[in-house]
Chains A and B, each alone.
Chain A
Protein backbone atom coordinates (compact mmCIF):
# COMPACT_ATOMS: atom_id res chain seq x y z
CA UNK A 1 0.00 0.00 0.00
CA UNK A 2 1.11 3.54 -0.61
CA UNK A 3 -0.38 6.87 0.26
CA UNK A 4 -0.85 10.30 -1.20
CA UNK A 5 -0.47 13.60 0.53
CA UNK A 6 -3.72 15.56 0.67
CA UNK A 7 -3.24 18.89 2.35
CA UNK A 8 -0.75 17.41 4.79
CA UNK A 9 -2.84 14.32 5.49
CA UNK A 10 -1.65 10.92 4.32
CA UNK A 11 -4.45 9.12 2.47
CA UNK A 12 -4.01 5.41 1.87
CA UNK A 13 -4.39 4.25 -1.74
CA UNK A 14 -3.79 0.95 -3.53
CA UNK A 15 -1.22 0.38 -6.31
CA UNK A 16 -3.56 1.86 -8.88
CA UNK A 17 -4.16 4.88 -6.71
CA UNK A 18 -7.74 4.01 -5.72
CA UNK A 19 -8.88 4.77 -2.17
CA UNK A 20 -8.36 1.89 0.23
CA UNK A 21 -11.09 3.20 2.52
CA UNK A 22 -13.91 4.77 0.48
CA UNK A 23 -15.30 6.42 3.63
CA UNK A 24 -12.46 8.96 3.77
CA UNK A 25 -13.48 10.48 0.42
CA UNK A 26 -13.76 14.29 0.37
CA UNK A 27 -13.37 17.22 -1.97
CA UNK A 28 -9.67 17.67 -1.20
CA UNK A 29 -9.02 14.09 -2.23
CA UNK A 30 -10.86 14.66 -5.50
CA UNK A 31 -8.62 17.62 -6.21
CA UNK A 32 -5.50 15.61 -5.43
CA UNK A 33 -6.68 12.73 -7.64
CA UNK A 34 -7.55 15.15 -10.42
CA UNK A 35 -3.91 16.21 -10.72
CA UNK A 36 -2.75 12.60 -10.89
CA UNK A 37 -5.28 11.72 -13.60
CA UNK A 38 -4.44 14.65 -15.89
CA UNK A 39 -7.61 16.55 -15.10
CA UNK A 40 -6.42 20.14 -15.41
CA UNK A 41 -9.40 21.88 -13.89
CA UNK A 42 -12.39 20.50 -12.01
CA UNK A 43 -15.40 22.12 -13.65
CA UNK A 44 -19.07 21.90 -12.87
CA UNK A 45 -19.31 19.18 -15.53
CA UNK A 46 -16.69 17.11 -13.73
CA UNK A 47 -18.66 17.39 -10.51
CA UNK A 48 -21.82 16.39 -12.33
CA UNK A 49 -20.14 13.13 -13.35
CA UNK A 50 -18.54 12.57 -9.96
CA UNK A 51 -21.75 13.19 -8.03
CA UNK A 52 -23.71 11.01 -10.43
CA UNK A 53 -21.27 8.13 -9.93
CA UNK A 54 -21.41 8.49 -6.14
CA UNK A 55 -25.19 8.65 -6.04
CA UNK A 56 -25.51 5.64 -8.32
CA UNK A 57 -23.05 3.64 -6.27
CA UNK A 58 -24.78 4.57 -3.03
CA UNK A 59 -28.12 3.45 -4.43
CA UNK A 60 -27.14 0.25 -6.26
CA UNK A 61 -23.83 -0.83 -4.77
CA UNK A 62 -22.20 -0.99 -8.20
CA UNK A 63 -20.71 1.42 -10.71
CA UNK A 64 -23.10 2.21 -13.58
CA UNK A 65 -22.45 0.79 -17.00
CA UNK A 66 -20.88 3.35 -19.28
CA UNK A 67 -23.94 3.61 -21.52
CA UNK A 68 -26.00 4.47 -18.46
CA UNK A 69 -23.45 7.03 -17.30
CA UNK A 70 -23.54 8.79 -20.67
CA UNK A 71 -27.32 8.66 -20.93
CA UNK A 72 -28.01 9.93 -17.42
CA UNK A 73 -25.39 12.70 -17.41
CA UNK A 74 -25.98 13.72 -21.02
CA UNK A 75 -22.26 13.55 -21.84
CA UNK A 76 -20.95 11.57 -24.80
CA UNK A 77 -18.16 9.10 -24.23
CA UNK A 78 -15.86 11.50 -26.06
CA UNK A 79 -16.78 14.29 -23.67
CA UNK A 80 -16.09 11.98 -20.73
CA UNK A 81 -12.62 11.25 -22.11
CA UNK A 82 -12.06 14.96 -22.73
CA UNK A 83 -12.89 15.63 -19.09
CA UNK A 84 -11.13 12.55 -17.70
CA UNK A 85 -8.26 11.65 -20.08
CA UNK A 86 -7.67 8.31 -18.37
CA UNK A 87 -11.28 7.34 -19.04
CA UNK A 88 -14.42 6.66 -17.03
CA UNK A 89 -13.04 3.69 -15.06
CA UNK A 90 -9.50 4.74 -14.19
CA UNK A 91 -10.32 8.45 -14.13
CA UNK A 92 -13.89 9.28 -13.19
CA UNK A 93 -14.51 6.33 -10.83
CA UNK A 94 -11.24 7.01 -9.01
CA UNK A 95 -12.12 10.67 -8.46
CA UNK A 96 -15.58 9.64 -7.29
CA UNK A 97 -14.01 7.35 -4.70
CA UNK A 98 -15.62 4.17 -6.05
CA UNK A 99 -14.01 0.75 -5.61
CA UNK A 100 -11.62 -0.19 -8.35
CA UNK A 101 -13.44 -1.64 -11.36
CA UNK A 102 -12.59 -5.33 -11.61
CA UNK A 103 -13.09 -8.17 -13.97
CA UNK A 104 -11.29 -10.29 -16.44
CA UNK A 105 -9.23 -8.15 -18.76
Chain B
Protein backbone atom coordinates (compact mmCIF):
# COMPACT_ATOMS: atom_id res chain seq x y z
CA UNK B 1 0.00 0.00 0.00
CA UNK B 2 1.30 3.42 -0.89
CA UNK B 3 2.17 5.57 2.06
CA UNK B 4 -0.46 8.20 2.79
CA UNK B 5 0.44 11.79 2.00
CA UNK B 6 -1.68 12.97 4.91
CA UNK B 7 -0.79 10.93 8.00
CA UNK B 8 -1.70 13.70 10.48
CA UNK B 9 -5.17 14.27 9.06
CA UNK B 10 -5.70 10.55 8.60
CA UNK B 11 -5.52 10.20 12.36
CA UNK B 12 -8.58 12.44 12.62
CA UNK B 13 -10.61 9.92 10.64
CA UNK B 14 -10.44 7.59 13.63
CA UNK B 15 -12.76 7.93 16.60
CA UNK B 16 -16.51 8.12 17.18
CA UNK B 17 -17.17 11.79 16.44
CA UNK B 18 -18.04 12.66 12.82
CA UNK B 19 -14.82 13.41 10.98
CA UNK B 20 -14.41 16.58 8.97
CA UNK B 21 -11.38 14.94 7.35
CA UNK B 22 -13.56 12.17 5.97
CA UNK B 23 -15.87 14.84 4.61
CA UNK B 24 -12.97 16.66 2.98
CA UNK B 25 -11.72 13.46 1.43
CA UNK B 26 -15.17 12.69 0.03
CA UNK B 27 -15.10 16.04 -1.71
CA UNK B 28 -11.47 15.51 -2.71
CA UNK B 29 -12.39 12.32 -4.54
CA UNK B 30 -14.36 14.47 -6.98
CA UNK B 31 -12.72 17.86 -6.90
CA UNK B 32 -9.10 18.85 -7.40
CA UNK B 33 -9.54 21.94 -5.24
CA UNK B 34 -10.78 19.88 -2.30
CA UNK B 35 -7.77 17.58 -2.73
CA UNK B 36 -5.45 20.58 -2.58
CA UNK B 37 -7.35 21.80 0.47
CA UNK B 38 -6.65 18.48 2.21
CA UNK B 39 -2.99 18.65 1.25
CA UNK B 40 -2.58 22.27 2.32
CA UNK B 41 -4.27 21.51 5.64
CA UNK B 42 -1.90 18.59 6.19
CA UNK B 43 0.96 21.06 5.75
CA UNK B 44 -0.68 23.37 8.29
CA UNK B 45 -0.90 20.47 10.73
CA UNK B 46 2.76 19.73 10.14
CA UNK B 47 3.95 23.35 10.37
CA UNK B 48 1.37 24.51 12.95
CA UNK B 49 0.29 27.53 11.00
CA UNK B 50 -2.37 28.62 8.54
CA UNK B 51 -1.66 29.04 4.82
CA UNK B 52 -4.32 31.48 3.70
CA UNK B 53 -3.36 34.91 2.52
CA UNK B 54 -4.61 38.03 4.16
CA UNK B 55 -7.96 39.39 3.08
CA UNK B 56 -9.41 39.11 -0.36
CA UNK B 57 -12.06 41.21 -2.00
CA UNK B 58 -14.18 39.61 -4.66
CA UNK B 59 -17.88 39.63 -5.38
CA UNK B 60 -20.78 39.48 -7.74
CA UNK B 61 -22.31 42.26 -9.80
CA UNK B 62 -24.57 44.65 -7.95
CA UNK B 63 -23.59 43.43 -4.49
CA UNK B 64 -20.85 44.71 -2.19
CA UNK B 65 -20.91 41.66 0.08
CA UNK B 66 -21.85 38.02 0.43
CA UNK B 67 -18.57 36.61 -0.87
CA UNK B 68 -15.36 36.28 1.12
CA UNK B 69 -12.19 36.27 -0.93
CA UNK B 70 -9.59 33.70 0.00
CA UNK B 71 -6.23 32.92 -1.64
CA UNK B 72 -3.72 30.24 -0.78
CA UNK B 73 -0.36 31.46 0.46
CA UNK B 74 1.18 28.47 -1.34
CA UNK B 75 -0.31 28.70 -4.82
CA UNK B 76 2.66 26.92 -6.45
CA UNK B 77 2.28 23.89 -4.23
CA UNK B 78 -1.51 23.93 -4.17
CA UNK B 79 -2.57 25.52 -7.47
CA UNK B 80 -6.18 24.36 -7.21
CA UNK B 81 -6.80 26.44 -4.08
CA UNK B 82 -4.99 29.48 -5.44
CA UNK B 83 -8.45 31.05 -5.34
CA UNK B 84 -10.80 29.45 -2.84
CA UNK B 85 -13.55 31.93 -2.01
CA UNK B 86 -16.52 31.52 0.29
CA UNK B 87 -20.06 32.17 -0.87
CA UNK B 88 -22.46 33.04 1.93
CA UNK B 89 -25.98 31.95 1.05
CA UNK B 90 -28.92 33.26 3.06
CA UNK B 91 -30.25 30.23 4.92
CA UNK B 92 -33.89 29.42 5.47
CA UNK B 93 -35.03 31.07 8.73
CA UNK B 94 -35.08 28.39 11.45
CA UNK B 95 -32.72 26.24 9.32
CA UNK B 96 -35.59 24.16 7.93
CA UNK B 97 -35.11 22.54 4.53
CA UNK B 98 -36.88 20.23 2.19
CA UNK B 99 -34.53 17.63 0.79
CA UNK B 100 -35.44 18.99 -2.63
CA UNK B 101 -34.08 22.41 -1.67
CA UNK B 102 -30.89 20.93 -0.21
CA UNK B 103 -30.31 18.77 -3.26
CA UNK B 104 -30.71 21.73 -5.54
CA UNK B 105 -28.18 23.68 -3.50
CA UNK B 106 -25.76 20.72 -3.64
CA UNK B 107 -26.19 20.43 -7.39
CA UNK B 108 -25.13 24.03 -7.95
CA UNK B 109 -22.25 23.76 -5.52
CA UNK B 110 -21.00 20.52 -7.08
CA UNK B 111 -21.02 22.31 -10.40
CA UNK B 112 -19.24 25.53 -9.40
CA UNK B 113 -17.43 24.85 -6.13
CA UNK B 114 -15.52 22.46 -3.93
CA UNK B 115 -18.47 20.38 -2.74
CA UNK B 116 -17.69 21.42 0.83
CA UNK B 117 -20.01 23.43 3.03
CA UNK B 118 -20.71 24.50 6.57
CA UNK B 119 -24.29 24.04 7.67
CA UNK B 120 -24.13 26.71 8.96
CA UNK B 121 -21.60 29.48 9.66
CA UNK B 122 -21.50 31.33 12.97
CA UNK B 123 -23.84 34.07 11.76
CA UNK B 124 -26.26 31.62 10.22
CA UNK B 125 -25.58 31.60 6.49
CA UNK B 126 -25.07 28.46 4.48
CA UNK B 127 -21.34 28.58 3.85
CA UNK B 128 -20.29 27.33 0.45
CA UNK B 129 -16.60 26.87 0.99
CA UNK B 130 -14.24 27.26 -1.92
CA UNK B 131 -14.57 28.41 -5.49
CA UNK B 132 -12.69 30.50 -8.04
CA UNK B 133 -13.17 34.14 -8.94
CA UNK B 134 -14.29 33.10 -12.39
CA UNK B 135 -17.04 30.85 -11.02
CA UNK B 136 -18.53 33.37 -8.61
CA UNK B 137 -20.87 35.13 -10.99
CA UNK B 138 -22.21 32.01 -12.75
CA UNK B 139 -22.60 30.32 -9.36
CA UNK B 140 -24.62 33.24 -8.03
CA UNK B 141 -26.63 33.48 -11.25
CA UNK B 142 -27.69 29.86 -10.86
CA UNK B 143 -28.37 30.20 -7.14
CA UNK B 144 -30.47 33.26 -7.77
CA UNK B 145 -32.36 31.47 -10.51
CA UNK B 146 -33.19 28.74 -7.98
CA UNK B 147 -34.31 31.20 -5.32
CA UNK B 148 -31.19 31.43 -3.16
CA UNK B 149 -29.90 34.89 -2.34
CA UNK B 150 -26.58 35.81 -0.76
CA UNK B 151 -26.06 36.79 2.87
CA UNK B 152 -24.14 39.70 4.31
CA UNK B 153 -20.48 40.53 4.88
CA UNK B 154 -18.39 43.60 5.56
CA UNK B 155 -19.63 46.84 7.10
CA UNK B 156 -23.34 46.34 6.76
CA UNK B 157 -26.24 44.36 8.08
CA UNK B 158 -25.28 40.73 8.46
CA UNK B 159 -27.72 37.97 7.68
CA UNK B 160 -30.25 38.05 10.52
CA UNK B 161 -30.87 34.72 12.21
CA UNK B 162 -32.91 33.28 15.00
CA UNK B 163 -34.21 30.26 16.86
CA UNK B 164 -36.83 27.74 15.78
CA UNK B 165 -39.56 29.57 17.71
CA UNK B 166 -43.21 28.79 17.13
CA UNK B 167 -42.39 26.20 14.49
CA UNK B 168 -41.40 23.71 17.14
CA UNK B 169 -41.17 25.19 20.61
CA UNK B 170 -43.82 25.68 23.25
CA UNK B 171 -41.71 28.34 24.96
CA UNK B 172 -41.87 30.72 21.99
CA UNK B 173 -43.23 34.13 23.02
CA UNK B 174 -42.98 35.55 19.51
CA UNK B 175 -42.71 34.33 15.95
CA UNK B 176 -38.93 34.45 15.63
CA UNK B 177 -38.78 32.74 12.23
CA UNK B 178 -41.30 35.06 10.65
CA UNK B 179 -39.65 38.12 12.17
CA UNK B 180 -36.24 37.03 10.90
CA UNK B 181 -37.62 36.39 7.43
CA UNK B 182 -39.34 39.76 7.27
CA UNK B 183 -36.49 41.79 8.75
CA UNK B 184 -34.14 40.18 6.24
CA UNK B 185 -36.48 41.04 3.37
CA UNK B 186 -37.04 44.58 4.62
CA UNK B 187 -33.34 45.43 4.89
CA UNK B 188 -32.03 43.77 1.71
CA UNK B 189 -30.14 46.83 0.53
CA UNK B 190 -28.38 47.15 3.89
CA UNK B 191 -27.30 43.50 3.66
CA UNK B 192 -26.13 43.45 0.07
CA UNK B 193 -24.57 46.91 -0.23
CA UNK B 194 -22.65 47.37 3.02
CA UNK B 195 -22.31 51.09 3.74
CA UNK B 196 -21.95 51.32 7.51
CA UNK B 197 -18.84 51.88 9.61
CA UNK B 198 -18.82 48.21 10.60
CA UNK B 199 -20.89 45.08 10.83
CA UNK B 200 -24.33 45.09 12.48
CA UNK B 201 -25.98 41.85 13.54
CA UNK B 202 -29.61 41.14 14.31
CA UNK B 203 -30.58 37.93 16.07
CA UNK B 204 -33.83 36.81 17.59
CA UNK B 205 -34.64 34.23 20.24
CA UNK B 206 -38.31 33.65 20.92
CA UNK B 207 -37.73 33.31 24.68
CA UNK B 208 -35.20 34.20 27.36
CA UNK B 209 -33.44 30.84 27.01
CA UNK B 210 -31.88 32.58 24.01
CA UNK B 211 -31.04 29.50 21.92
CA UNK B 212 -29.85 31.82 19.14
CA UNK B 213 -27.33 33.43 21.54
CA UNK B 214 -28.76 36.76 20.42
CA UNK B 215 -27.79 38.75 23.52
CA UNK B 216 -24.17 37.66 23.38
CA UNK B 217 -23.69 37.61 19.65
CA UNK B 218 -25.75 40.35 18.07
CA UNK B 219 -25.72 44.13 18.06
CA UNK B 220 -29.52 44.12 18.12
CA UNK B 221 -31.01 41.25 20.09
CA UNK B 222 -34.73 40.52 20.10
CA UNK B 223 -35.73 38.32 23.03
CA UNK B 224 -39.32 37.09 23.18
CA UNK B 225 -41.09 37.59 26.50
CA UNK B 226 -44.48 38.55 28.03
CA UNK B 227 -45.77 41.31 30.28
CA UNK B 228 -48.71 39.70 32.06
CA UNK B 229 -48.12 36.74 34.36
CA UNK B 230 -47.09 33.10 34.17
CA UNK B 231 -49.88 30.62 33.62
CA UNK B 232 -49.62 27.89 36.25
CA UNK B 233 -51.64 24.68 36.08
CA UNK B 234 -51.64 23.56 39.73
CA UNK B 235 -52.90 20.08 38.93
CA UNK B 236 -50.03 19.53 36.51
CA UNK B 237 -47.56 20.92 39.09
CA UNK B 238 -48.67 18.31 41.59
CA UNK B 239 -48.36 15.60 38.99
CA UNK B 240 -44.71 16.55 38.44
CA UNK B 241 -44.16 16.33 42.22
CA UNK B 242 -45.95 12.98 42.46
CA UNK B 243 -43.67 11.70 39.73
CA UNK B 244 -40.65 12.34 41.96
CA UNK B 245 -39.67 15.74 40.52
CA UNK B 246 -37.63 17.79 43.02
CA UNK B 247 -39.62 21.01 42.77
CA UNK B 248 -37.86 22.57 45.73
CA UNK B 249 -34.34 22.16 44.36
CA UNK B 250 -34.98 22.60 40.65
CA UNK B 251 -37.71 25.24 40.60
CA UNK B 252 -38.39 27.04 43.90
CA UNK B 253 -34.76 27.18 44.96
CA UNK B 254 -33.62 28.33 41.53
CA UNK B 255 -36.09 31.18 41.11
CA UNK B 256 -33.80 34.22 40.89
CA UNK B 257 -36.21 36.53 42.75
CA UNK B 258 -37.68 33.97 45.16
CA UNK B 259 -41.04 34.52 43.54
CA UNK B 260 -42.14 30.89 43.88
CA UNK B 261 -43.15 28.92 46.93
CA UNK B 262 -44.46 25.36 47.04
CA UNK B 263 -46.82 24.53 49.88
CA UNK B 264 -47.07 20.83 49.23
CA UNK B 265 -50.29 21.23 47.27
CA UNK B 266 -49.90 24.56 45.51
CA UNK B 267 -47.17 26.53 43.72
CA UNK B 268 -47.61 30.09 45.01
CA UNK B 269 -46.35 32.84 42.78
CA UNK B 270 -45.41 36.47 43.45
CA UNK B 271 -46.23 37.80 39.99
CA UNK B 272 -44.80 41.29 40.46
CA UNK B 273 -41.41 39.88 41.30
CA UNK B 274 -41.13 37.55 38.33
CA UNK B 275 -38.24 38.47 36.03
CA UNK B 276 -39.39 36.01 33.32
CA UNK B 277 -36.16 34.00 33.35
CA UNK B 278 -37.83 30.82 31.95
CA UNK B 279 -36.34 28.36 34.47
CA UNK B 280 -39.63 27.17 36.00
CA UNK B 281 -41.15 26.88 32.52
CA UNK B 282 -38.09 24.97 31.26
CA UNK B 283 -38.31 22.57 34.17
CA UNK B 284 -42.08 22.00 34.12
CA UNK B 285 -43.26 22.72 30.56
CA UNK B 286 -46.51 20.83 31.10
CA UNK B 287 -47.44 22.87 34.18
CA UNK B 288 -46.15 26.40 33.62
CA UNK B 289 -46.55 28.54 30.51
CA UNK B 290 -45.52 32.06 29.56
CA UNK B 291 -48.16 34.79 29.90
CA UNK B 292 -50.50 35.62 27.03
CA UNK B 293 -49.58 39.27 26.41
CA UNK B 294 -46.44 38.59 24.46
CA UNK B 295 -43.78 40.63 22.72
CA UNK B 296 -40.05 41.11 23.08
CA UNK B 297 -37.28 42.85 24.95
CA UNK B 298 -34.60 44.54 22.84
CA UNK B 299 -30.96 44.46 23.92
CA UNK B 300 -28.26 46.43 22.18
CA UNK B 301 -24.49 46.18 21.77
CA UNK B 302 -23.59 42.50 22.12
CA UNK B 303 -20.26 41.54 20.54
CA UNK B 304 -17.02 39.56 20.83
CA UNK B 305 -13.83 41.11 22.32
CA UNK B 306 -12.19 43.07 19.52
CA UNK B 307 -11.55 46.03 20.05
CA UNK B 308 -12.84 47.51 23.31
CA UNK B 309 -13.97 44.32 25.04
CA UNK B 310 -16.68 41.70 24.69
CA UNK B 311 -20.11 43.00 25.59
CA UNK B 312 -23.29 41.14 26.43
CA UNK B 313 -26.16 43.22 25.07
CA UNK B 314 -27.75 45.93 27.21
CA UNK B 315 -31.49 46.44 27.70
CA UNK B 316 -32.76 49.11 25.34
CA UNK B 317 -36.49 48.44 25.19
CA UNK B 318 -37.88 46.46 28.14
CA UNK B 319 -40.96 45.41 26.22
CA UNK B 320 -42.49 46.00 22.83
CA UNK B 321 -45.03 44.21 20.71
CA UNK B 322 -43.41 42.44 17.76
CA UNK B 323 -46.15 41.41 15.37
CA UNK B 324 -46.37 41.48 11.57
CA UNK B 325 -45.95 43.79 9.73
CA UNK B 326 -43.30 44.77 12.32
CA UNK B 327 -43.54 48.50 11.56
CA UNK B 328 -42.52 49.67 15.01
CA UNK B 329 -39.44 47.46 15.34
CA UNK B 330 -38.27 48.13 11.78
CA UNK B 331 -38.53 51.84 12.52
CA UNK B 332 -36.47 51.37 15.68
CA UNK B 333 -33.80 49.45 13.73
CA UNK B 334 -33.69 52.22 11.12
CA UNK B 335 -33.26 54.90 13.77
CA UNK B 336 -30.47 52.96 15.43
CA UNK B 337 -28.59 52.13 12.25
CA UNK B 338 -28.95 55.72 11.04
CA UNK B 339 -27.40 56.91 14.30
CA UNK B 340 -24.72 54.22 13.99
CA UNK B 341 -23.89 55.24 10.42
CA UNK B 342 -23.75 58.93 11.36
CA UNK B 343 -21.71 58.67 14.56
CA UNK B 344 -19.58 55.53 14.62
CA UNK B 345 -15.93 55.57 13.64
CA UNK B 346 -14.62 53.08 11.12
CA UNK B 347 -14.75 49.55 12.56
CA UNK B 348 -16.54 50.60 15.70
CA UNK B 349 -19.45 48.37 16.75
CA UNK B 350 -22.62 49.95 18.12
CA UNK B 351 -21.79 48.73 21.64
CA UNK B 352 -18.45 50.51 21.46
CA UNK B 353 -20.11 53.62 20.07
CA UNK B 354 -22.56 53.66 23.00
CA UNK B 355 -19.69 53.12 25.43
CA UNK B 356 -17.85 56.08 23.87
CA UNK B 357 -20.72 58.59 23.61
CA UNK B 358 -22.67 57.42 26.67
CA UNK B 359 -25.95 55.52 26.82
CA UNK B 360 -27.84 58.73 27.69
CA UNK B 361 -26.68 60.48 24.53
CA UNK B 362 -27.43 57.41 22.47
CA UNK B 363 -30.97 57.23 23.85
CA UNK B 364 -31.50 60.89 23.02
CA UNK B 365 -30.09 60.32 19.55
CA UNK B 366 -32.56 57.58 18.73
CA UNK B 367 -35.48 59.11 20.61
CA UNK B 368 -35.94 56.71 23.53
CA UNK B 369 -36.53 57.65 27.14
CA UNK B 370 -34.44 56.22 29.99
CA UNK B 371 -36.05 53.48 32.06
CA UNK B 372 -34.82 51.73 35.20
CA UNK B 373 -34.88 48.35 33.44
CA UNK B 374 -31.93 49.58 31.38
CA UNK B 375 -29.46 49.48 34.28
CA UNK B 376 -28.46 47.04 36.96
CA UNK B 377 -27.97 50.07 39.25
CA UNK B 378 -27.95 53.86 38.86
CA UNK B 379 -24.63 55.63 38.75
CA UNK B 380 -22.52 55.71 41.91
CA UNK B 381 -20.38 58.66 40.85
CA UNK B 382 -21.40 62.34 40.82
CA UNK B 383 -19.96 63.16 37.40
CA UNK B 384 -23.22 64.24 35.77
CA UNK B 385 -23.36 66.15 32.50
CA UNK B 386 -25.90 68.93 33.08
CA UNK B 387 -27.09 70.59 29.89
CA UNK B 388 -27.58 74.32 29.29
CA UNK B 389 -31.34 73.99 29.05
CA UNK B 390 -31.50 72.30 32.44
CA UNK B 391 -29.95 75.16 34.44
CA UNK B 392 -30.98 78.77 35.03
CA UNK B 393 -29.13 81.11 32.72
CA UNK B 394 -27.39 84.08 34.33
CA UNK B 395 -28.05 87.60 33.09
Contacts and interface: CB of A to CB of B under 8 A. Distances in A.
Interface stretch (A5-13, A41-49, A81-89): A81-89
Interface in B144-174: 153-155
A101 B61 CA distance: 18
B61 A90 contact: no
Tell me the dominant secondary structure on chain B's binding face: loop
A67 B58 contact: no
B58 A77 contact: no
A97 to B, nearest CB: 15
Interface residues on B, range: 20 to 34
Nearest to A87: B64
Contacts, number: 61
A88 B59 CA distance: 12
Interface in A49-72: 62, 65-67, 70
B321 interface: no
A89 B320 CA distance: 38
Interface string B55-98: 11111011110001101000000000001000000000000000
Contact of A81 (B69, B83, B153, B193): B193
Nearest to A62: B346
A28 interface: no
B68 A105 contact: yes
B331 interface: no
Contacts of B53: 15
Nearest to B67: A105
A102 interface: yes
Nearest to A93: B57
Nearest to B152: A105
B195 interface: yes
Contacts of B57: 16, 18, 89-90, 100-101
Given A62-B346, A85-B62, A87-B64, A105 B341 contact: no
A90 B55 contact: no
A21 interface: no
B72 to A, nearest CB: 10
B197 interface: yes
Interface string B179-202: 000000000010001111101000
A100 B54 CA distance: 11
Contacts of B83: 15
Nearest to A69: B195
A70 B62 CA distance: 17
Contacts of A87: 59, 63-64, 193
Contact of A65 (B56, B58, B197): B197
Nearest to A84: B64
Contact of B71 (A15, A67, A70): A15
Contacts of A102: 54-55
A85 B153 contact: no
Contacts of B335: none
Contact of B56 (A16, A62, A66): A16
Q: Which 4 A-B residue pairings sit nearest by Cβ, starting from the closest?
A: A87-B64, A66-B195, A15-B71, A85-B61
Given A15-B53, A65-B346, 9 more contacts: A38-B61, A65-B197, A77-B189, A77-B195, A88-B64, A90-B57, A100-B55, A101-B57, A105-B68
11 contacts: A15-B56, A15-B69, A67-B196, A67-B342, A77-B193, A85-B61, A87-B59, A87-B63, A90-B59, A102-B55, A103-B154
Interface of B: 53-59, 61-64, 68-69, 71, 83, 153-155, 189, 193-197, 199, 306, 341-342, 346-347
